[in-house]
Amino acid sequence: MTDTPAFRPDARSPRGFQDRRARDLRAERTLLARVSAVYEAHGFEALDTSAFEYADALGKFLPDSDRPNAGVFAVLDDDEQWMALRYDLTAPLARFAAQHWETLPKPFRRYAFGPVWRNEKPGPGRFREFIQCDADTVGSARPEADAEIIAMAVAGLEAAGLARGAAALKINNRKLLNGLLEATGVTAAGQKLAVLRAVDKLDRLGPDGVRLLLGEGRKDESGAFTKGAGLQAAAAEAVLQFVAAGGGSRSETLDRIAGVIGGSAEGDAGLEDLARIDAALTGLGVADDQAMFEPSIVRGLEYYTGAVFEAEILLDTLDERGERVRFGSIGGGGRYDDLVARFTGEPVPATGFSFGVSRLAAALRAAGQAAADAVRGPVVVIVFDGAHMPQYFQVAGELRAAGIAAEVYLGTSGMKAQMKYADRRLSPAVIMLGGDEIAAGTVTIKDLDLGRSLAAGVQDNETWRAARPGQATLPRGEMIPFVQRILKG
């Protein structure tokens, strides 16, 4: 027998998962607290469902399959039922609402935030666990319920720290394009889908490229041919006019849409919905630059049954090559009527909005609105002599009692390493309490912020030093005001 060395696992996170440290967590918690306050002010109650749902409740079973399909993390429970981690917050809401429908106050309004998990291929900036924040109204078919969700999203983004003008809610309605296609004789689901896919490429290909995709098809630069939706020329033009109808105030856009949508019952219903959303938004004080109608918004149209909305960050940011790009979408939502019906058989109208918390936090950083700074460390009490530990702790306690974060250094290194530790923690100051100070009832305080300012060239050495001593020995009773002055900067 040979000696086998002890097994030493690699210390690393699984692929696609990340650790978040103080700076990011602070930004995220502040953001969620502010958005939660907005949602609660609108009468939405907090709900937290568990990480696991039964896979069938998530709808993650393919027909004739005995394993959950791709995209979710699933485990077989010991009673032979498949459970899967939630991949969004809507599916658990649907399960909850269906389970408790009889006893819930209706319409049921809830908000929720928490991690969701996607079993997908990880990549740069593409994680398999991330935080979402959702608000939904279940049990109201009124377009005003959509308007309220939109107004709440606007208020939430602003409360989170995005200045007015930095974000906008863009609103479309699935009924409009449906009605338009119906008026031009398109009724097959496959053809509608091809139209949606073509419209979705407007940003990238422009109207001419989309015209080809709406018609016979398009050959790209490489020579590859994409088959088109097969619309007649007049129908394709109507679609192009429709998606170009955005811009200006909500009522101007409505007028333009009315001019091109062409009189189908479904199109008229879509127009009526938007008119009521406009009126409610105006009543809620949401201006035309905060929420606008934009017929070219396609994303999610396959999933939603009526209004659809997207929250777009209007800031430019720099990409990996240093080029300016639009930050883009951070969330979206819309009206959906079939989720609860999956359980109960009865359709229940619902509408909601969801945003990515990390993505909003990144937008706030890009906007310079939040927590770009590293988190401040505590005041560090230096350890000279183990026998004086109780006195060090007393000083740290006095600082904390005054609302100042403080700690006693608890390693075993010497003075120099302790100063370096305090500097790395971004401590504002260290407190030194040698035998002399203890005997005299004094403390020595070293201002680390000053050192950092001087090192960064923020302050002129001479004038600054005159106003602010870098180090001072003071009676113990003057310690707190001195540290408070340092913290004020």
**Shortest reach from residue 279's CB to a copy of itself, in Å:** 5
Structure tokens at 168: 């906008």
284 class by beta-carbon count within 10 Å (0-12 exposed, 13-18 middle, 19+ buried):
middle
**Eight-class DSSP state of 105:** -
> How close are the terminal C-alpha atoms of the chain, in Å?
66
> Binding to a copy of itself by residue 416, rule CB under 8 A?
no
**Shortest reach from residue 333's CB to a copy of itself, in Å:** 16
Please pick, from the candidates 30, 34, 54, 469, the single residue that binds a copy of itself as defined by CB under 8 A.
Answer: 54
Within positions 282 to 311, which residues make up the interface with a copy of itself, using CB under 8 A?
A: 282-285
> Binding to a copy of itself by residue 7, rule CB under 8 A?
yes
> Binding to a copy of itself by residue 343, rule CB under 8 A?
yes
**Shortest reach from residue 142's CB to a copy of itself, in Å:** 5
Within positions 13 to 32, which residues make up the interface with a copy of itself, using CB under 8 A?
A: 13-15, 17-22, 25-26
Distance CA 322, CA 317 (A): 9
8 A C-beta contact, residue 170 and residue 314: no
Determine the angle formed by the axes of helices 233-243 and 174-183, rounding to 10 degrees.
Answer: 160
Which CB, 147 or 261, lies closer to a copy of itself? 147
Indicate the residue type of 414: G
Which CB, 38 or 194, lies closer to a copy of itself? 38
> Binding to a copy of itself by residue 428, rule CB under 8 A?
no
Listing DSSP states for 256-305 in one string gives HHHHHH-S-HHHHHHHHHHHHHHHHHHHTT--TTTEEE-TT--TTTTT-S
**Shortest reach from residue 379's CB to a copy of itself, in Å:** 8
Please pick, from the candidates 90, 132, 137, 253, the single residue that binds a copy of itself as defined by CB under 8 A.
Answer: 137
> Binding to a copy of itself by residue 62, rule CB under 8 A?
no
Please pick, from the candidates 159, 405, 474, 480, the single residue that binds a copy of itself as defined by CB under 8 A.
Answer: 405
- Give the DSSP H/E element, type plus range, for residue 470: none
Which CB, 342 or 468, lies closer to a copy of itself? 342
Per-residue binding letters, 359-398, with a copy of itself (x by CB under 8 A): ----------------x-xx-x-----x--xxxxxx-xx-
Phi, psi angles (nearest 5°) of residue 259: -70, -25
> Binding to a copy of itself by residue 83, rule CB under 8 A?
yes
Please pick, from the candidates 34, 142, 299, 468, the single residue that binds a copy of itself as defined by CB under 8 A.
Answer: 142
CA distances from 457 to 374, 452, 453 (A): 19, 9, 6
> Binding to a copy of itself by residue 272, rule CB under 8 A?
no
Which CB, 61 or 327, lies closer to a copy of itself? 61
Indicate the residue type of 208: D
Distance CA 293, CA 277 (A): 10
**Shortest reach from residue 139's CB to a copy of itself, in Å:** 6
> Binding to a copy of itself by residue 250, rule CB under 8 A?
no
Indicate the residue type of 332: G
Q: In what order do the strands lie in the sheet with 379-381?
A: 406-408, 379-381, 429-432, 442-447, 471-475
> Binding to a copy of itself by residue 254, rule CB under 8 A?
no
Distance CA 225, CA 425 (A): 58
CA distances from 213 to 15, 192, 221, 375, 469 (A): 38, 12, 14, 51, 72
List b or e across 296-329, with b for residues whose CB sees 16 or more CB atoms inside 10 angstroms: bbbebbeebbbbbbbbbbebebeeeeeeeeebeb
> Binding to a copy of itself by residue 407, rule CB under 8 A?
yes
> Binding to a copy of itself by residue 109, rule CB under 8 A?
yes
**Shortest reach from residue 112's CB to a copy of itself, in Å:** 9
Please pick, from the candidates 2, 8, 65, 223, the single residue that binds a copy of itself as defined by CB under 8 A.
Answer: 8
> Binding to a copy of itself by residue 73, rule CB under 8 A?
yes
Looking at 2-10, 226-234, 354-362, 456-464, which segment touches a copy of itself (CB under 8 A)? Answer: 2-10
Within positions 151 to 210, which residues make up the interface with a copy of itself, using CB under 8 A?
A: 151
Looking at 99-107, 324-332, 450-458, 464-472, which segment touches a copy of itself (CB under 8 A)? Answer: 99-107
Which CB, 114 or 217, lies closer to a copy of itself? 114
Looking at 169-177, 216-224, 228-236, 419-427, which segment touches a copy of itself (CB under 8 A)? Answer: 419-427
Which CB, 99 or 329, lies closer to a copy of itself? 99
Is the four-CA dihedral 399, 400, 406, 407 of positive or negative sign? positive
Nearest to 139 by CA among 177, 165, 101: 101
Please pick, from the candidates 35, 89, 135, 147, the single residue that binds a copy of itself as defined by CB under 8 A.
Answer: 147
> Binding to a copy of itself by residue 98, rule CB under 8 A?
yes
Structure tokens at 323: 């080029």
> Binding to a copy of itself by residue 57, rule CB under 8 A?
yes
> Binding to a copy of itself by residue 425, rule CB under 8 A?
yes
Please pick, from the candidates 168, 406, 419, 479, the single residue that binds a copy of itself as defined by CB under 8 A.
Answer: 406
Nearest to 196 by CA among 225, 170, 172: 172
57 class by beta-carbon count within 10 Å (0-12 exposed, 13-18 middle, 19+ buried):
buried
Looking at 9-17, 234-242, 265-273, 302-310, which segment touches a copy of itself (CB under 8 A)? Answer: 9-17
